[in-house]
Amino acid sequence: MDQIADLNARLADVPGPTADQLGLEGVRVRRGSTGPLPGAAVLTRVCWEGAPAFPDVRAVFAGTSGAGGALVVDLHTQGLRALSHHLGLRQTWGVGPCRPGS
């Protein structure tokens, strides 16, 4: 998944956005916590699981103070578009028209 590699390469060079900046505050955390994702959590990397033709994309956030470890959430089309836009990448995610800033 070249697009995932591009996102991670950019995240290695610049500070990651927060969950709030990506519109992910409050989403269900898959691994790392039983509570919702805090808005202040900072994205550290993106990964994928499953079949390469139709993978499940995950966002890995650093745990906030007092909540050690990584917080892993599902990253759907809207979040991927927000992340690509935030990082200045021109990637296409999902189907249908892509509106600027979405």
Cα(72)–Cα(47) distance, integer angstroms: 10
pLDDT tens by residue, 27-49: 999 988 888 999 999 999 999 99
pLDDT of residue 99: 54
Paired strand residues for 36? 28
Consecutive 10-residue averages of pLDDT for the chain (102 residues): 89 94 95 90 94 90 73 91 87 60 48
Q: Comparing C-alpha atoms, which of 55, 66, 74, 71 is closest to residue 5?
A: 55
